Amino acid sequence: MARKLLLEHINVPGINTLDVYRQKGGYRAVEKALKTLTPDEVVEEVKKSGLRGRGGAGFPTGMKWSFLAKPEGVARYLVCNADESEPGTFKDRYLMTYIPHALIEGMIVASYALGAKTSYIYVRGEMMPQIRILERAIAEAKAAGFLGKNILGTGYDLELYVQPGGGAYICGEETALLESLEGKRGNPRIKPPFPAIAGLYGCPTVVNNVESIAAVVPIINDGGDEYTKIGIGRSTGTKLISASGNLVKPGVYEIELGLPVEEFIYSDEYCGGIANGKRLKATVAGGSSVPVLPANLTLKLANGEPRLMSYESLSEGGFATGTMMGSGGFIAFDEDQCIVRNTWNFSRFYHHESCGQCSPCREGTGWMEKVLHRIEHGHGKMSDIDLLVDVSRKIEGNTICPLGDAAAWPVASAIRHFRDEFEWHVREPLKSQETNYGIAKYAEPIAKAEVTTDN
């Protein structure tokens, strides 16, 4: 049984309340940090742990904290990015729903380490139940003396607020989030300056993901060195994975980094295999913004070794034969799934969510959606496939924020690994409307619905 750091007590009745959370050791990290450690010592423990950002980029959290500017007399802020909107990703929502005090405790410890007196949790606007849960948890923590003035008699003051977003995916990008938090349109900023220098209201700011902040709690409780004993190489600790798609047991799982992908998919401890006894065709390992991989490259590296659930192993081979950990949104596609249709579906999302600030993204995502729609609906040309590759290359690396890359990578990788399926849609437009391409041959025809009219 894999070790659990974040979800160990997830099934304990009432764990979402302060009393039960404290009975299971909750808020020990706050007491330890505020009473026995200096802010710099907290930062050092997080650096020693090797914790990497759990929101997508995988940048070392402690190093990010150490970049925070500390000018005299200028406020500093910690902002939690809970604007979880990536298709296939729902682990932050799960954590906020069932164990909100883990996030609140992490926010207090992290705010203390950064010298923040005011901190914010920016939550996706559609998550109204989670917003109410967090507000209730904050009220409980404040009543118990963990928030407000002179916390635990240490002289440290902290106010924590929940701010609903407007429902825009682009606000998951940290500078767009800060713009939205300031009451402006959520457009990404040009960097530099980075938020650590000029963030919220022009002040030094750290923006961290929900899971990243919650992971600070076990690190402070047990020590950074102990955290490094879990995981593999530079992928230390545990990771929450949102598993969805054609799986026997979809859901949120906490894994030790370094777990073989094959074990994650097929073992009864995790996803239990592909639903309905079908074969695996492809996966998206880190949410809709990362490259898609065919089944063979999902389970094995190009050299035949097992692929692992780690930052390094998933990206092994670059985008030619690898992918990314991303946000941990693991989507499995079985043999009956149409890659063209799913790629078009992803492209619709990114076209809709583009803020329109950068021309390559604004125009390119629209082009890709229209061309993929044409191919999927039987009106494509062979030249359209190369056009998609060309457009994706012109978007990648040419935008202010990574949304353009996120839109381009799924399209480019789908064509790289499943070009024959795209070509089949062009060659056989009628057949592609009635059957699925399958894995190595045509699948069985899909029965057409009989439409009758009663007189």
Question: What CATH number corresponds to the domain at position 377?
Answer: 1.20.1440.230
The tokens for 71 are 């000018």
133 and 152 within one domain: yes
pLDDT at 455: 33
**Cα separation of 239 and 230, whole Å?**
11
The tokens for 320 are 């030619």
Residue 129 sits in a domain whose CATH number is 3.40.50.11540
Does 374 map to a domain? yes
151 and 87 within one domain: yes
CA 303 remoteness from chain centre: 28
365 and 273 within one domain: no
| Count: domains in the chain | 3
pLDDT at 443: 34
405 and 260 within one domain: no
353 and 425 within one domain: yes
pLDDT at 71: 92
343 and 423 within one domain: yes
Does 196 map to a domain? yes
135 and 220 within one domain: yes
Signed CA dihedral, 78, 62, 86, 270: sign only: negative
Does 446 map to a domain? no
**Cα separation of 427 and 381, whole Å?**
8
Signed CA dihedral, 85, 90, 95, 98: sign only: positive
Write out the residue range of the structural domain in which residue 71 sits: 18-227
DSSP line for 290-307: S-EEEHHHHHB-TTSPBP
Contacts of 243 (CB under 8 A, 6+ apart): 249, 250, 251, 252, 253, 264, 270, 271, 330, 332
Each residue's pLDDT expressed in tens, for the chain with a length of 455 residues: 779 999 999 999 999 999 999 999 999 999 999 999 999 999 999 999 999 999 988 999 999 999 999 999 999 999 999 999 999 999 999 999 999 999 999 999 999 999 999 999 999 999 999 999 999 999 999 999 999 999 999 999 999 999 999 889 999 999 999 999 999 999 999 999 999 999 999 999 999 999 999 999 999 999 999 999 999 999 999 999 999 999 999 999 999 999 999 999 999 999 999 999 999 999 999 999 999 999 999 999 989 999 999 999 999 999 899 999 999 999 999 999 999 999 999 999 999 999 999 999 999 999 999 999 999 999 999 999 999 999 999 999 999 999 999 999 999 999 999 999 999 999 999 888 887 787 644 333 333 333 333 33
320 and 244 within one domain: yes
Does 2 map to a domain? no
Residue 260 sits in a domain whose CATH number is 3.10.20.600
33 and 171 within one domain: yes
Does 140 map to a domain? yes
The tokens for 191 are 């960097």
330 and 367 within one domain: no
CA-wise closest residue to 257 among 229, 223, 290: 229
Domain final residue pick, 190, 206, 227: 227
210 and 245 within one domain: no
399 touches 187 (CB < 8 A): no
Q: How much is the pTM?
A: 0.93
pLDDT at 433: 83
**Cα separation of 296 and 283, whole Å?**
10
Cα of first residue to Cα of last residue in the chain, in angstroms, is 62
Strand duo 238-245 + 205-209: pairing: unpaired
Strand duo 280-284 + 329-334: pairing: antiparallel
365 and 255 within one domain: no
Domain final residue pick, 199, 227, 255: 227
Contacts of 362 (CB under 8 A, 6+ apart): 354, 356
Does 445 map to a domain? no
Domain final residue pick, 308, 334, 360: 334
The secondary structure of the chain in percent helix, strand, coil, rounded to multiples of 5, reads 45, 15, 40
Helix (H, G, I), strand (E, B) or coil at 163: strand
